[in-house]
Structures are given as C-alpha cells and as structure tokens.
Amino acid sequence: MRRGFKAEAERQAEKARTEMGKRPSDHVDALDLATHVGAIVRRADELTSRERLQTLEEIQPGAFSACTFTIGDQHIIVYNPISSPGRTQSDIAHEVSHVVLMHEMKTVETIAGLAFFTCDAEEEQEANWLAGCLLLPRRLLYLAVRRGMRAPDIAEQYNVSEQMAAFRLRTTGVLRQLGASGE
C-alpha cells in the first residue's frame, strides 16, 4: 500500500462516522455506511437465484462476496446473502471503501456463468484496509480495550467476525499501546 495510506484510511473512517453523527464507541452498520456514501444495497438473490449462489459457493468457496456496479453515477452494491452476518458487514464495508476511494471496477471475471468486476490488487488491498477502519476505527478499539474488551467481545458488540476484530487489534497496535494481552 502506498505511503501514508493507512493514516489516511483512519481519517476517512473517522470523517464518515462524524458525518453520520456517531460517537467514537458507537456501532456503525455497513448498510448505513453504504447509504451514507449514496450507494444502493441489494441482496444477490434478488438478481439471481439462491440455488445458483449456493452452486457457485460449492464450486468455488468465497468466490462471490460482494461487488459494486456503477450505472451513471449511482453505485449499486450487491452482496451474497449466504455469507455470515459478520462476513457480510466486512464485504459491504469493502465495497463502500471502493466507492469512497473512487476506485474504478475494471476487470470482468466470469465464474460459473456469473460476471464479476474487480479492481487491481493494490486497490483491493486498500479497500480491505479501509473496510477494517470503517467498521473498527482505531479510536473505537482503544476505548473498547480500555473497557476490558477483547476480540470476541468486540466481534459480538460490533457485529464483525472475530478474525476481523483480532486483525484490527493486532495491526493498530492498540493492545500494545495499552499494555493489554490479547487473551
């Protein structure tokens, strides 16, 4: 990732939360983030059958999480309803991040008869990173750890996967800063 991107991502996340009228410890739902950036969110089973999504998942697990279509200047985020709620939150936040970062979807891939648009690898990394910041900004993690919360508590309270909570705790250095153990 380019120099300065991580700090910029934290700032973008804080800015979005402030604009949404959220306090530092508030839970922010990925669907609300999507609305905030002006995107429409649709479940993929509104566009294709649930059976087809299930077949795709069997052929290539995790092949389709979410994607964004842009028609005119309207962004439409489509997510896979088969995924777990925590996973859905990060998938939608990932797509919101592409919108925030004004990434252009370029590549079209076809898997099991469904077309997917993807960004280049660098942009995918940026979107993943910003998604983590949007759902669990550093300030929120700092306050949570200070209250004695750890990854499982954070995952439950903020409706994210435990892996996401653990990843963010590790990469933000919050545990280290507060001299807390990860257990």
CB of 156 to Zn ion, least distance (A): 26
Only segment of 4-12, 41-49, 84-92, 122-130 that touches Zn ion (CB under 5 A): 122-130
DSSP letters spanning the chain: --TTHHHHHHHHHHHHHHHTT--TT----HHHHHHHTT-EEEEGGGTS-HHHHHHHHHHSTTS-SEEEEEETTEEEEEE-TTS-HHHHHHHHHHHHHHHHTTPPP-EEEEETTEEEEE--HHHHHHHHHHHHHHHS-HHHHHHHHHTT--HHHHHHHHT--HHHHHHHHHHHTHHHHTT----
**Closer CB to Zn ion, 34 or 127, in the complex:** 127
**Closer CB to Zn ion, 26 or 120, in the complex:** 120
Only segment of 2-10, 121-129, 137-145, 162-170 that touches Zn ion (CB under 5 A): 121-129
Only segment of 3-11, 58-66, 116-124, 170-178 that touches Zn ion (CB under 5 A): 116-124
**Closer CB to Zn ion, 56 or 174, in the complex:** 56
CB of 95 to Zn ion, least distance (A): 7
Point out which residues bind Zn ion (CB under 5 A). 124, 127
